[in-house]
Amino acid sequence: MKKLLLLTLLMTVTLAFSQKRKDQEGSIKNLKGITAYNLVFDYENLKVDKFDTEEEFLKNKMEKREAKEAGKGEKFKKSWFADRENLFEPKYIESFNKRFDGGAVKVEKGLDGATHTMKVKTTWIYPGYNVGVMKQPSKVNATIIVYETGNPDKILFSTKYFKVPGSNFYGADYNSGYRIAESYAKLAKEMAKYILKKAK
């Protein structure tokens, strides 16, 4: 029991200190008074793990799966892309919005009339793994950019998060999509906390 508690504590500390943020442009204080953001996600030129391109990653994973069972590679590819809209993005939205009492600030995809847009541009993903006796959390690098909806060149603030971890301590993350979704939940949490603390 003591070993389990120690392991959980160690993982918590590791997750807490493994991520970093670096502001890129503008100031977080420029977000003061903004109550709603049209949310967009950008996965263009995404890199995965040690591969130079997402295409190389998918080719590698698909070939391995096809060698075991015909059709399994294509099934993986379909799931990989579907996880964005089905898992990653809903997790980000839920995690961000619940940080603000009474919906004081919210993000929503396709939010009509929103004067500001928050773009989450993912640049790198490490899917992690969970094989029961051993596990490694997913990690995500992403740049969050806030700009005027009618004038995308008018950037109020942008910041980059590095190696945002995603894991479920209860073991329900054998699927890479669920692990990565937790990285997006963590990313949203950190961004919301930053706004709450600094955009005053």
pLDDT given for residue 135 in this prediction: 84
Q: How far is CA 147 from CA 20, 120, 169, in A?
A: 22, 12, 36
Tens-digit pLDDT profile for residues 145-178: 999 999 999 999 999 999 999 976 555 667 899 9
Tokens 């894991």 appear where?
A: 167
Q: How far is CA 93 from CA 56, 79, 86, 104, in A?
A: 29, 20, 12, 14
CA–CA gap between residue 65 and residue 69 (Å, rounded) = 6
What pTM value is reported for the model?
0.88
Choice among 38-47, 85-94, 131-140 with the minimum mean pLDDT: 131-140
- For residues 113 and 106, is the Cβ–Cβ distance under 8 A? no
Tokens 């909806």 appear where?
A: 149
